[in-house]
Structure 1
Amino acid sequence: MAFRTILGFIVPLLCSSALLAEEINLNPSHPERYTVVQGDTLWDISGKFLRNPGQWPLLWSYNNQIKNPHLIYPGDTVYFSTVNGQPRLSFSPTEASAVSPSSGPCVLSDEDIKNGRTSFALSAEGKLRPCIRESVSAKAIQLIPADAIQKYLSLPRVLGQNELNSAPYIVDLAGEHLIAGTGDKVYVRSIDQPESLTYAVYREGDTLVNPETQEVLGYEAKYVADLTLQEAGDPATLTITKASGEIRVGDRILPTNEQEVVLNYFPMPPEESIKATIIGVHDGVTQIGRYNVVVIDKGTADGLKTGHELDIYQRGKIARDPYSPVKNDEVQMPDEYAGKLMVFRPFERVSYALVMQARKDIHVLDKVQTPE
């Protein structure tokens, strides 16, 4: 669809005084060195040195050598040390790229060009030896695996009551099709004054409900396909440009807008005290684990923003006490810490979040809250 998404991952080079005053909680079993492997994320690496990987900006900020942790590549090595009581990380690039300028083949890296390298290998006659221009082809590590949330950055949508049911709908398919797919034309009621040239097909999804009050918080609209307007009118003619499923008569149409969404992930706890509940999970999983996308029953109206991290607590079970003098006595077991999640797409009253850590099995109706 006509919707461009840019994933931006920022590292503050200058932390606020409040951030600098925060105490770093080290992982007691942290390694002295770690070599980055394919598939690592910045969150993974930080978790090897920290109890709470969300403190990564604080730890990396102490280290002048690591200008940008997002430019670390598989094969690079990170070293841990303590200087004047402060934890520090030092960094060495892949051994293959660390070639001495005075021996062996002359290798000119992108970083050398950027920094204006002036020392080069000389031949026995004192002449400059030819250099090989080396470019890094490996992909730098990310804070989180972007593909885990990519499809949720613009789709699906959470709408208000009757918002989907009042939208234009497909009244017929071109040709003699019962269902339509990519490249087919469809006819849509009442697009006389188009808001956009690009539209998306949606179908009714889950109703999002507060589990305690049963109040409806929103209605999920499930994405089906992208459309391009060919001719306005009643009916209007549109062409299917991309489809993730079958398009049928009666499916609803909503406009999409050409825009960029820039998400700067800087995980931090909310300023407010948030107590929420997991009310849904995507991709059809029943037991929620790391990098699954969940829906929680709090949103921007409650103070949640992109990047806010929350602790997950496994809901304590109710156990029957056969030894109690009270007949059929039951005891509520305490909730147990189960992991962390990060909000990446907040709506007004609900939010989509990515599970970053999962120490126990996580389920719908488990609790989430501001870290203590």
Structure 2
Amino acid sequence: MKTANLALRKAILLSLVAGLTVTAGVLAPPSLQAQDSPAQTVGSGSNIPLAANAPDQYVVKRGDTLWDISRMFLREPWYWPEIWYVNPQIANPHLIYPGDVLKLVYVDGQPRLTVERGGETIEGSRGGKRLGPEVRREPLSQAITAIPYDIVASFMGRPTLLTKDQVKTAPYVVAMRDSHMIGALGNEVYARGIGNAEPETRFSVIHVEEELRDPDNNALLGYSGMYVGSGPVATAGDPAKLLMTDSTREVLQGDKVFPESVDVNVDFVPHAPASDIDASIMAVRSHTVMGQYQVVALNRGSDAGLEPGHILAVYKRGDVVRDTFKEGGLAARRSRSRTSGFGNNVQLPDERAGVLMVFKAFDKLSYALVMETTHEIRQGDRAKNP
């Protein structure tokens, strides 16, 4: 099973585009059939749950995410790696671009998605043109991402969840100009540790707040943070001088400093974890209730097998209710309604409340984005295998 999982991960990294089967080094065209209409909910007897109205084809648009497209074709988007047709013969086969045409076909009775670019089908079907390795003219920045890039980049540039290492090693405000004790909009502050940052490079200032402790063992995993403000480097050096051009509260000595522009890798594939995961939601960006596209912290990381792209289902703990009907029914309940403590406590089952996708995994802590919600999600809810 472990070998199979490793093989699947390797296939995921190499795949996500139409292609050819490879047997003993010989390329063999598979048997392709167009999808029957209407779309089947489970592909030709397989266990892949297609969406009830999965389209025959879809033209990728700018602004799409891999999650959006997955949801269009599948009831459960984490099955995505199972319907992409692996083609290691194509350069960067896991990248999809605006204008690509995705087609739902059947290969040996199994649902698969192929890609058509510029009128040429990238597959091994009869009549289709076989394409070898190619160089895309579009820059990589135009490829669609698994989740909204802007949301994740904004969070990483203005982090409100901080790991222990970030708090320990991040650059920090050492002083304010003119010996001020606090800084505000228009003030100049001095920061140490930002290296050789060029003038006009923007940085965010984050105030470290409450500890994030693992609810299972009380271990310190990180801290919550509050965005204070941001501004460009006015004078390079160590310390460097920053001009605060945006401010939500006063800057204090010791506040942490992070680059406002962060290159975040969201080039991964939604897939279910290979191992059993049982994590707790620890923080919700200073909110007690969260919704779609909010970032949360989980008390599990790479040590538990989590990695970017992993999908987790959120479960709310069931309420505890008092059963006053077990003995004697309604009549007995009424006759003893004044009896203190009448009845036994009953734990209701946990209820599924939403879906998360991990986008950053540290050793013992992960950041995840809420992709879907059906009920309120709160701190303390559990995140498990979907």
TM-score, normalised on structure 2?
A: 0.64
Whole-Å Cα distance in 1 between the matches of residues 252 and 305 of structure 2?
Answer: 40
Equivalent in the alignment of 2:85: 61
2:146–2:267 CA contact under 8 A, matched in 1: no
1:185 aligns with 2:221: no
**Which residue of the partner structure matches residue 39 of structure 2?**
none
Q: CA deviation at 1:294?
A: 1.4
Q: Quote the residue 2:334 is aligned against.
A: none
**Which residue in 1 is equivalent to 2:33?**
none
Where does the alignment leave 5 or more consecutive residues of structure 2 unmatched?
1-11, 24-45, 120-130, 198-202, 328-340
Query: How far apart, CA to CA, are the structure 2 residues paired with 1:200 and 1:31?
Result: 43
Distance in structure 2 (CA, Å) of the matches to 1:29 and 1:231: 58
Equivalent in the alignment of 2:315: 313
**Structure 1 residues 77 and 256: alpha-carbon distance in aligned structure 2, compared to 1, 3 A threshold:** closer
Q: Structure 1 residues 173 and 246 mapped into 2: Cα distance closer, same or farther (>3 Å)?
A: farther
Matching residue of 1:29: 52
Q: Which has the higher helix share?
A: 2
Tell me, yes or no, if the aligned pair for 2:152 and 2:264 is still in contact at 8 Å.
no
User: 5+ residue gaps in structure 1?
Assistant: 1-8, 18-22, 99-110, 116-134
- Counterpart for residue 332 of structure 1: 347
CA change 1:12–1:242 in 2 (3 A) is farther
Aligned twin of 2:233:
228
Contact 2:71 2:77 in 1 (8 A): yes
Give the C-alpha shift of residue 149 in structure 1. Answer: 1.2
Partner of 1:130: none
1:158 partner letter: L
Indicate yes or no: 2:277 matched with 1:274.
yes
- Among 190, 202, 207, the alignment partner of 2:206 is 202
TM-score by length of 1: 0.66
State whether residues 281 and 293 of structure 1, in contact with CA within 8 Å, keep that contact through their aligned partners in structure 2: yes
1:319 shift after superposition = 1.9
- For residue 70 of structure 2, give the secondary structure of its aligned residue in structure 1: helix
Deviation for aligned residue 1:290: 2.8
Match of 1:101 in 2: none
In the superposition, relative to structure 1, how do residues 174 and 79 fare at CA in structure 2: closer, same or farther (>3 Å)? Answer: same
2:267 to 264, 269, 278: 264
Give the aligned residue type for 1:275.
D
Q: Pick from 360, 366, 369: which aligns with 2:381?
A: 366
Q: 2:3 aligns to what?
A: none
Change (3 A) 1:330 1:254: same
Distance 2:93 2:224 in 1: 38
Kindly provide the amino acid, as one letter, of the partner of residue 319 in structure 1. Answer: V
Maintained 8 Å contact 1:24/1:59: no
The alpha-carbon distance between structure 1 residues 10 and 359, as it changes in their structure 2 partners (threshold 3 A), is farther
CA pair 10-292 structure 1, distance change in 2 beyond 3 A: farther
The 5 A counterparts of 1:94-109 are none
* Correspondence 1:140-155 to 2 at 5 A: 141-155=144-158
CA distance in 1: counterparts of 2:165 and 2:13, whole angstroms: 37
Q: Distance in 2 between matches of 1:168 and 1:43?
A: 37
Q: Are residues 1:219 and 2:223 paired?
A: yes
Q: What is the identity percentage for the equivalent residue pairs of Structure 1 and Structure 2?
A: 28
Superimposed CA distance per residue, residues 45-89 of structure 1 (whole angstroms, 9 cap, x where no aligned partner): 22232232122233122689x995743436x65443334311133
8 Å Cα contact 1:339/1:358 also seen in 2: yes
Q: CA RMSD in A?
A: 4.6
Secondary structure in 2 aligned to 1:71? coil
Q: Distance in 1 between matches of 2:62 and 2:95?
A: 14
- Of 248, 253, 265, the match for 1:250: 253
CA distance change for structure 1 residues 346 and 161 in 2, over 3 Å: closer, same or farther? closer
The answer to whether 1:80 aligns with 2:104 is yes
Q: Report whether the alignment pairs 1:45 with 2:69.
A: yes
Asked whether the equivalents of residues 170 and 253 of structure 1 are also in contact (C-alpha less than 8 Å), the reply is: no
Say whether the 8 Å CA contact 2:153–2:264 is kept in structure 1: no
Provide the rounded CA distance (Å) in 1 between the counterparts of 2:102 and 2:375: 29
Residue by residue, what CA displacement relative to the aligned partner does 1:30-56 show, whole Å, maximum 9, x if unpaired? Answer: 434254566542222222322321222
